[in-house]
Amino acid sequence: MHLSRLALTDFRSYAAADVELAPGVSTFTGANGQGKTNLVEAAAYVATFGSHRVATDAPLIRHGAQRAILRAAVTSAERDSLVEIEINQGKANRVRLNRVPLPRPREALGTLRCVLFAPEDLAMVKGDPDQRRRYLDELLVAIRPRFAGVRADYDRVLRQRTALLKSAKAARFTGQGGGGGAAPSALEVWDDHLVTHGAELTAGRLELTAALRPLAAKAYAAVSGEDLTTGMSYRQSGREDEPAADRAALAEGLRESLARVRRAELERGVCLVGPHRDDLELRIGELPARGYASHGESWSLALALRLAAYDLLRSGGDDPVLMLDDVFAELDGGRRESLAGLVSGAEQVLVTAAVPADVPALLAGQRFEVSGGAVFRA
């Protein structure tokens, strides 16, 4: 799979850009702040419908514009596709696939698959659990697009249930609850929904964790050159051990956990149980990576997680597009060469770098220069 063309209108710093791409390596160089990262961010948005840099779409629209438009031509072993995304200011985005409007944008997920390496990846190792949950969920959707619906359903239930808990807390505080510590009857309905969608999402994450574990360990050894072993475990809120990916057992466990924390939820007005509170624990040797790993070890582990995702995606058919956004500047010489050797055989690699010398010679290919919101073939 590869991108053959990427065209942008009013996206980030680009009033307009149109780049034709080919298989192999394409490198985009230029001074910081010229728009290199915006290009790979746009390509990744086509694959995931989200940005690795910001949580909302508003910053993606060029200042002064009402909308941004992304067009991506994708070539795969099965077909050629055109994905068009209109990111709108203050209203729903619109998506077309091969010129046909889609009633649900997520129907286009899977048309382009990519793995993006970026400086922000360090947060997967050093940051809060939400960074690691996002890593799992985005990869899960890339491998099995139906999980986009599962995750959306769970998020909707979580919002509704949290709103109900907050209103119940407010009613008890003002003395209008009338039932002391009793839960509102509507909460039981949302409990059922949370259990159903939560068990499905948790099972998917557990299955994914099991598949990633050996791939990440292998990739870490290859990138770091160290003998230290790595490990990962899925930590479900309220449990010390990693559960099995048994949907019925997970549903029963969630229901029991909800009952156990009912009073605390009503007192605090928040949802205390569910996959939104789980974590992916990463280890180097016998110690948790978060808080114990050195900077070099953390970078190696972050790269290993992305390489494991790449290996898992390519095992399902076409190679995903690999994107390396200003990664080589963060690595020492040995890790640069190791990473270049690991990714050089990919069908398509997009690299950004401020300094051309940062890019290993093994990744020679098409060269582009980015300056002043424009892209030029070098």
Three-state DSSP class for 358? helix
What does DSSP say about strands 348-353 and 321-325: parallel, antiparallel, or unpaired?
Answer: parallel
pLDDT tens per residue, range 118-143: 999 999 999 999 999 999 999 999 99
Q: Which residues have CB under 8 Å from 374's CB, separation 6+?
A: 17
pLDDT tens per residue, range 84-100: 999 998 889 999 999 99
pLDDT of residue 181: 47
Report whether pLDDT(253) > 60: yes
Full-model pTM: 0.91
Q: Is 64 exposed, middle or buried (0-12, 13-18, 19+ CB in 10 A)?
A: exposed
Domain ranges within the chain, ordered by starting residue:
1-113+319-378, 121-317
- Backbone angle region of 89, left / alpha / beta, with phi > 0 → left and psi within -120 to 50 → alpha: beta
Do residues 284 and 125 lie in contact, with contact meaning Cβ atoms separated by under 8 Å?
no
The fourth-level CATH superfamily of domain 1-113+319-378 is P-loop containing nucleotide triphosphate hydrolases (3.40.50.300)
Indicate the residue type of 185. Answer: S
Do residues 109 and 151 lie in contact, with contact meaning Cβ atoms separated by under 8 Å?
no
> 121-317, which class in CATH?
mainly alpha
367: nearest Cα among 51, 27, 21, 136 = 27
Which DSSP string do the residues of 89-157 spell out, in sequence order?
A: SSS--EEEETTEE-SSGGGGTTSS-EEEE-GGGHHHHHS-HHHHHHHHHHHHHHH-TTHHHHHHHHHHH
Which two structure tokens, joined as six digits, stand for 72? 């991506």
Please name the residue ranges forming H helices in 292-353.
295-314, 333-343
Query: What is the average pLDDT across 47-57?
Result: 93
Do residues 273 and 254 lie in contact, with contact meaning Cβ atoms separated by under 8 Å?
yes
pLDDT tens per residue, range 260-273: 999 999 999 999 99
76: nearest Cα among 23, 143, 39, 27 = 23
Phi, psi of 234 (to 5 degrees): -85, 120
Report whether pLDDT(239) > 80: yes
